[in-house]
Each structure stands twice: as C-alpha cells, then as structure tokens.
Amino acid sequence: MSGELPHSVTSIPTAVQGSATPPERRAAILLHKAQVAHQVLLGRHLLGGQVVPMVASTPLPGKAPHLFLRQATEFTARHLATLAFMVAEQQLSPTEPLIEATLAALEEAQTVTGVPGMLARAYMRGGTLPGEAESGTGERWRPSGEHLWLDGANAKVYATTLFGYAVYHELAATEDQKRRIASLVAAVVERWLGDALTFLDADGSPVSDSSLAPGRIALPQRALSLLALQLLAIGHRLTGTPECLRVYRELADTHGYANRGLQLPPELQDGWSAEHDCLACEAYYHLVQWETDPQLLDAFRRNLEALRSKVRAHERPYLEIIYAALTGDMEGAGSVHEVLLRLPVVKEIYRPADWTGGGEAGPGVTPIENRPPTVFEWTANPRRTWFLIRRFAPLDYLIAYWMGRHHGLICAPPEHVSKATVGP
C-alpha cells in the first residue's frame, strides 16, 4: 500500500455537513454517524475476553508487527462511560450483553494482575507477543495463567478507569453492578492509599507519572494533582471509605491541589499538554458535580473556566460538552455540532511512499477532518500533522455524541426523520 488513503466517513453524506444544514437533518446525521461509529468499534475490537482495542498495527518497513495496546484499559473505561450515557438516553438496557462484556473486560483487567487493586494497561487471552527488543517499546508483558498482561499502569490509567466506573455507576448501573463496581474501586483506592498515593508495578517499583503525593508531582505534571482529588472523590462516593474523604480534604485544603492544575508557565500550556487538558476536564466532571464546600467549588469553577478559554479554539467538542454540562452554558452548542459533523468516524491512514517516519505539529490548529488518526482525539495534540500508521475505532466521536445528548447540547432527531433519510 503506497500513498495515503484519506480518512473517510462511511455511509455519511458530505454535501450537508455544514452550518446551513437544517437542525432536524443535522440531528439525524449526527445520530447516524454514532450508529456507524459503534458498528466500526464492535467490528474492529473484541469485547468478550479482551480489553478493547485489541488490534495489530501496520508494521513499519523492516520491523516486525506488534500490538498497539498501551491505552486499552483506558479505552474500555471510556467505552463504559459511553454506554452509560446511552442507557441514560434509553438507547440500551443495563443488562445488555454489550454492557456486561465491557464490565467483565474491565474487571478482568484488574483481576488478571493477581494483585488486589492493580490494573493492567492491557491484556490478552492466549497468543504470543514479541519480546521487548523486537517490539522496541521496552514494555513489560507478564504471564498470568492463560493471559498476558501489560504492566506499568500510571495515574492516568487509574483515573480514566475510575472515571468510566463512576459515570456508569451514577447513570446506569443495576444494584448488582453497583456492588461489583464498588468492590473494584475499593480495592484500587485501598492499595493506592496504602502505597502513599503512589502507583507501583508488579515488582513494587513506582511507575512513571505514578506518585500523586504532596511534593512528588513535577511542574510539567501539575495537572495530575486533579487526578488525586478525582480518585479520592470517586473512591468516597462509590465506596463510602472515610479515609478517602480525609485525604481529599487534606490535599485540597492544606496542599492546595484544587488550584494546582493550571499553574504552568505559558510554554507548557499548549501542544503536548492536550492529554492533561482532557484528563482535567474529566476530573472536573465529577469534582464540580459533587463538591459541597463553597470555596473549593469556586476554585474548581474558576480553573474550569480558564481551561475552557485555553482550549475552546482547538476543535475539541468533548471538552466543550463537559464545560456546558457543568456550567449550563450552551453557547458552544453550535460549534459542537459543526465539529462533530466533520469528525471522521472511520479513521485509517497508511504511509505515503516517501514517508520516512516522524513529523511535527503545525503552528496553528489543524482542522479536525485533516488530523491524522489517533487512539482518542481529545487527548491528542490538535496541531499535529504527523502520520500514524494504525487503524482505530471512533470512541472519541461516540463519547462526545452521547454525553452531548445526555446533557442537552445535541438533540435526538424527530421520529419522522428516519435513518433512511440520511443515507448516502
């Protein structure tokens, strides 16, 4: 395959994807894209017994193929959150096999490690993986019965996983599912608290970006302070553990964690920090909803406002939707629709014949339809222009669409506007 194969949107009309599209038809197109997106996701990524995404990357010239799984557990947790919004919008039942499979996959990502409260970054049942030298990643895959699992889950993996659990627990879970989720979350926070707010690997060594203790978070990683509060808030909300609340208040009140997320010099507040922007917004999603202390709530809201001002021109509607959900400000609804209409739901790219690797970010924001594919658009640099030689499912579209539906930024199409009217 030589030359680039442009990303495309299968079965989605292009002539009407603009601001002039009538609202009813726009709503129908957005829904149809969500339906196509979920078909693509389920067609590419197995759920039964494997954490999504479980897909081999296209090999580079002269290199053996390897599995790209670094964000598999995070991907699955955000898929669970997406399913929660779908249940809340009466599109699914919480007893659907798809939901049970997703919950089971996340549960197995925790039990497969054999260490209570420890998460695998990814795992697979059976099969073999290339060694560290061959894959060139230096990642540590460990055996566990019939499984192989990827060690080294850091604070971002744990925060994203608990975010998915919390969204589902609050919006969709049955009583039995709530008990299962509470047990899994309790094991995570108990281990983390017992290890002095540090996430360790299976050898007992701290992993990178793992310590959220006071004085241990480096300046470029200051947004991780919010993840500590997020983990503690979810731990207390879902399990009732008093220690979670005690440590939460200590970090917020004594150590100023509520105000640390945006205390970065200007040169560190752009580009590469896109992942932290997304993680911060997901942290605020529950912190703002649950906080009862007026001063802390005011700090969260002020920092959320500053973050929104920073990213609003980046064409990242997932972050705009979280902001609107927490503030009631629907001013950005139009841009959310417009950008989601342009966001591809089939994301594929192949190397050009003259491509030698690498790439760089451009000086301005790259239009969303022209950005190279990535695992999750909302954590990626919106200025990127480099090539990625992979195929990914459009979870980024799905979670933004269904969260937007749940919080009123995106309307369901009228019943008389059928799927057939938006076909190609």
The Cα–Cα gap between 348 and 342 comes to 15
Residue pLDDT, tens place only, 54-84? 333 333 344 333 334 567 899 889 999 999 9
- Above 50 in pLDDT, residue 109? yes
Q: How confident is the model over 106-119, as a mean pLDDT?
A: 93
pLDDT at residue number 53: 40
DSSP string, 231-261: HHHHHHHHH--HHHHHHHHIIIIIS-GGG-T
Q: Predicted confidence band at 143 (pLDDT cuts at 50, 70, 90)?
A: confident
Nearest to 66 by CA among 108, 113, 120, 124: 124
More confident residue, 298 or 361: 298
Q: Predicted confidence band at 331 (pLDDT cuts at 50, 70, 90)?
A: confident
pLDDT at residue number 11: 42
The Cα–Cα gap between 237 and 62 comes to 51
Nearest to 417 by CA among 35, 16, 32, 92: 32
pLDDT at residue number 216: 81
Residue pLDDT, tens place only, 148-202? 888 999 999 999 999 999 999 999 999 999 999 999 999 999 999 999 999 999 9
Rounded to a whole number, what is the distance in angstroms from the first to the last CA of the chain? 27
The Cα–Cα gap between 163 and 50 comes to 20
More confident residue, 392 or 88: 88
The Cα–Cα gap between 319 and 335 comes to 12
Choose from 48-52, 105-109, 167-171, 415-419 the range with maximum mean pLDDT. Answer: 167-171
More confident residue, 2 or 108: 108
pLDDT at residue number 168: 98
pLDDT at residue number 190: 97
Task: Give residues with Cβ within 8 angstroms of 30, minimum separation 6.
Answer: 337, 340, 341, 401, 410
- Above 80 in pLDDT, residue 52? no
- Above 90 in pLDDT, residue 51? no
> What are residue 347's phi and psi, to 5 degrees?
-115, 105
Nearest to 304 by CA among 236, 223, 365: 223
pLDDT at residue number 371: 81
Q: Residue 107 in contact with residue 120, Cβ under 8 Å?
A: no
Q: Residue 123 in contact with residue 152, Cβ under 8 Å?
A: no
- Above 70 in pLDDT, residue 12? no
The Cα–Cα gap between 254 and 275 comes to 27
Please name each of the domains of the chain with its CATH number: 1-13+22-44+334-424 (no CATH), 60-311 (1.50.10)
pLDDT at residue number 241: 95
For strand 122-125 and strand 147-150, is the pairing parallel, antiparallel, or unpaired? antiparallel
Average pLDDT of the residues of the chain: 79
Q: Which stretches within 343-383 are classed as H helix?
A: none
How many helices (H) and strands (E) the chain has is answered by 13, 7
pLDDT at residue number 154: 93
- Above 60 in pLDDT, residue 18? no
Positions of E strands within 309-383: 347-348
pLDDT at residue number 20: 54
Residue pLDDT, tens place only, 273-328? 788 889 999 999 999 999 999 999 999 999 999 888 888 888 999 999 999 999 99
The Cα–Cα gap between 331 and 157 comes to 32
| Joined tokens for residue 7 | 């990303």
Angle at CA of residue 327, ends 324 and 332, nearest 5°: 30
Q: Residue 131 in contact with residue 141, Cβ under 8 Å?
A: no
Q: How confident is the model over 203-224, as a mean pLDDT?
A: 81
